[in-house]
Amino acid sequence: MMDSFEWNKIFGGVLGGLLFIAALNILVDELMAPEKEAGGGMTVATTETTTSGPSAPEAKPDWGTVLAAADTTSGEKVHQRCLQCHDFSKGGPNKIGPNLYGIVGNKRAHEPSFSYSGVLANAGGTWGYDELDAFLTNPRGAFPGTKMTFAGLSKQQDRINLIAWLRTQADSPLAIPAPNPASAAPAATGPDGEGPASQTQTTPPGEKPQPTVPGAAPPTAPTGGTVPATPGPAESRPATGVQPSGQTTPPPPAAQPGH
């Protein structure tokens, strides 16, 4: 009869075998499992379009046209991005930046109680429409060394709307300039693209080209496309009975009767 020690060895061997089989089964499943594709969901092929060459510079707005059509309500919403640093009310305080009431058309460094950066304090000039547009696009690009940390407004329409709203925040708003419509379309160019196209007269083969008189209209070809030849000088033919030297040719002898 086996004692408990022997039974423990048997149970331990069986349990160890079962654990070994389970571990082997897990290992085999991991090794034989199919490889999963990286990333989840459906893969969609996309094509990235790139443009070569430098981008064209942004044209300056025609303020006489764009200000009349600007949305000052949108401009007021845009100005809320600036409220952390600026006050826009009449007689309002300076903050991190100066008070900007009446800024459009005002001189640079207009607020005497504010300590401007050196580049703006010594800049001179006024804040016209073009100057404000350039500054709002890229403050550090327009005035390198300015203390202003604002990155700028990349959308031109946002700047136009903001400037239109800023213009209304003044006792005497700056006048809107007269519209400057685009100039007339350029003249048509020739095939080489270097000058205006011109009409060229083709001379038929075997004929001499006619000289062109400056300022004269080019000759017009008749229907059928053939340019008539220019008649040459008339040839002189001597008259009958007259020698080229002016002598008279004697008449032929009369017939004799009987011959």
DSSP secondary structure string, 87-144? --STTPPP-SS---TT-TTPBTT--TTS---HHHHTT-SB--HHHHHHHHH-HHHHST
Domain membership of residue 76 (yes or no) is yes
Domain membership of residue 135 (yes or no) is yes
Of 58-62, 151-155, 181-185, 202-206, which gets the smallest average pLDDT?
Answer: 181-185
- Name the burial class of residue 86, with classes exposed (0-12), middle (13-18) and buried (19+) by CB atoms within 10 angstroms of its CB: buried
Each residue's pLDDT tens digit, 202-256: 555 555 555 555 555 555 544 444 444 444 444 444 444 444 444 445 555 544 4
Supply the mean pLDDT for the chain. 73
Domain membership of residue 158 (yes or no) is yes
Each residue's pLDDT tens digit, 110-140: 999 999 999 999 999 999 999 999 999 999 9
- Return the pLDDT at 5: 72
Per the structure, the count of domains in the chain is 1
Domain membership of residue 203 (yes or no) is no
d(CA 81, CA 151): 11
In the predicted model, is pLDDT for residue 25 greater than 80? no
Domain membership of residue 214 (yes or no) is no
Domain membership of residue 106 (yes or no) is yes
User: For residue 85, what is the domain's CATH number?
Assistant: 1.10.760.10
Domain membership of residue 139 (yes or no) is yes
- Return the pLDDT at 31: 64
In the predicted model, is pLDDT for residue 188 greater than 70? no
Extract the tokens encoding 72.
Answer: 């000052």
Domain membership of residue 55 (yes or no) is no
- Its domain, for residue 156, covers 63-168
**Chain centroid, CA 170 distance in Å:** 35
Extract the tokens encoding 207.
Answer: 């004929």
User: Which amino acid would we find at residue 6?
Assistant: E
129 closest CA partner among 97, 164, 178: 164
Higher pLDDT, 41 or 182: 182
